Chain A
Amino acid sequence: AQSVAQPEDQVNVAEGNPLTVKCTYSVSGNPYLFWYVQYPNRGLQFLLKYITGDNLVKGSYGFEAEFNKSQTSFHLKKPSALVSDSALYFCAVRDAGGYNKLIFGAGTRLAVHP
């Protein structure tokens, strides 16, 4: 069965420092991976996706993610964090057997301190 794991409940980083939010996956077949962000009392906003091609994927708001097949990871990164990046981040994998169904991780709360 497809699954994703986000090993950190919370990540704390100082403004201006680089940030990484971790995600590992387990899939049968090719992985199709996504990152979403959720602000309080809001729906999820798409950040980026990996379907095929370059292992480094660039997305919205300066975020990028690195796909690593050998480590089955898809970590979200940003070179310089902003206080406004503080939110809940979800990694997701497309279910192989479904009609574009997504399976989400439990989420990681990112807190960026001034």
Chain B
Amino acid sequence: EAEVAQSPRYKITEKSQAVAFWCDPISGHATLYWYRQILGQGPELLVQFQDESVVDDSQLPKDRFSAERLKGVDSTLKIQPAELGDSAMYLCASSPRRPHNEQFFGPGTRLTVL
């Protein structure tokens, strides 16, 4: 069964450092999502791609976060500089282009900022 891949699974960094997360969606899925899940809360969308274009980044802290999906396949989410409050699980998901389809989630990257 096809799965969404993410790496690394765990990342520990010091504040002010740069971090990057990678996601490889299920083959053929046009839509890719990055969510942030703070402990004890539900996931919150950071950025959404349709193919290589950003269609929603309204909740992305653009002063420090950036995301790209250059060829419309895999994606990278970057934080620079990291802050203590960025400690969270970062989840990537993908879905087919058709509306109302469920999203398929990767295992996530747990980020700890010291």
CB neighbours (8 Å) of A94 from chain B are 100
Determine whether B63 belongs to the interface, using a CB cutoff of 8 Å to chain A. no
Determine whether A67 belongs to the interface, using a CB cutoff of 8 Å to chain B. no
**Cβ 8 A contact of A99, one of B42, B43, B55, B93:** B55
Q: A99-B31, A99-B56 are in contact. Are A43 and B100 (CB under 8 A)?
A: no
Determine whether A82 belongs to the interface, using a CB cutoff of 8 Å to chain B. no
Assess whether A41 is in contact with B105, with CB atoms less than 8 Å apart: no
CB neighbours (8 Å) of B27 from chain A are none
Assess whether A99 is in contact with B100, with CB atoms less than 8 Å apart: no
**Cβ 8 A contact of A43, one of B40, B48, B99, B106:** B106
Assess whether A90 is in contact with B42, with CB atoms less than 8 Å apart: yes
Determine whether A34 belongs to the interface, using a CB cutoff of 8 Å to chain B. yes
Q: Which of B43, B55, B104, B105 has most chain A Cβ within 10 Å?
A: B43
| A residues whose Cβ falls under 8 Å from a Cβ of B | 32, 34, 36, 41-46, 49, 51, 90, 92, 94, 98-102, 104-107
